[in-house]
Structure 1
């Protein structure tokens, strides 16, 4: 009986060690981002906070600053006012910002948008499908998409206003 318990405990311990090992590998070594510079940006259709539908491919011919964010994210809170400021001048030059909120309620996102006086489209990725298609972790993550729908650059983390302006210049048609 003792020998049987020892074998069962050993098997359980081995399974747990394998699970921990895989988790550590996936967290620190596996490349999670599914798209990279030069790839065609995966198309998607999402609704904004006002219920209007937006499809990425509808923005062909424009530069797209595609930002994935959350209301709870401190770097997101810091970059949003800078994004709004640059959007005001670059929208006239053919650059759009699509801010994709990940898995939050409309109420939380609407309050956030009102607080920061955001005018660019805020899209709702309720079930994180677009997040998964782009392989994003962590937030915020920004993709720069040129007028032909190709990814020209990406950045993980919060952006300073000067960098946002530089990126907008880079994707301006």
Structure 2
């Protein structure tokens, strides 16, 4: 029979490990300043888009899926940011990871966006950016450097993105 003290100790260790894992999945990375991996993906409009073509802009790359409830909540915030900062040299690239683009297009009928929607059907770009949670948001500066990664979404995260965007637009 295991003593109650030992059981409590095991529970405490498991809780600490679980909290550390959850924090790692949802926390923002530090200021990275490494070149963002370049990629080319087909857009909703049928054209290929390349990240390198966005050099000179601050870019949010948002990895999302139609089945992801937090992604649905987050997309309108990105649309508002696109509208607010587009003239200052900012854009959102929404990278959908659904296996079938039709699912994304169905969702976008309910949540229209003006920024480019790209399709990563084979997960190559998702792997390149170490996407571990839905959604995953990456911010790239005007020089093409990967500056921030954020895993997950909860209400209020958009304020963090706005702060980072404003800072990078001033650089």
- State the TM-score bracket (shorter-chain normalisation): 0.7 to 0.9
Count of residue pairs brought into register by the alignment? 141
The answer to whether the 8 Å contact 2:66/2:98 transfers is no
From the CA coordinates, give the structure whose radius of gyration is larger: 1
Equivalent pair of 1:70/1:104 in contact (CA under 8 Å): no
TM value normalised by structure 1: 0.75
Q: Among residues 130, 135, 159, which one is paired with 1:135 in the alignment?
A: 130
- Provide the C-alpha distance between the structure 2 equivalents of 1:111 and 1:90, rounded to a whole number of angstroms: 27
Match of 2:14 in 1: none
2:167 to 163, 167, 170: 170
Alpha-carbon distance, 1:85 to partner = 0.9
Within a 5 Å distance, the mapping from 1:1-173 to structure 2 comes to 37-158=32-153, 160=156, 161-172=158-169
Q: Which residue of 2 aligns with 1:14?
A: none
Q: What's the CA shift for 1:162? A: 2.1
Question: For structure 1, which runs of at least 5 residues remain unmatched after alignment?
Answer: 1-27
CA RMSD of aligned residues (A): 1.9
Partner SS for 2:35: coil
Separation (CA, whole Å) in 1 of partners of 2:99 and 2:160 = 27
Q: Could you list the runs of 5+ residues in structure 2 that have no partner in the other structure?
A: 1-20, 26-30
Is the CA contact (8 Å cut-off) linking 2:58 and 2:89 kept in structure 1?
yes
TM-score, normalisation: structure 2: 0.76
- 8 Å Cα contact 2:43-2:117 kept in structure 1: yes
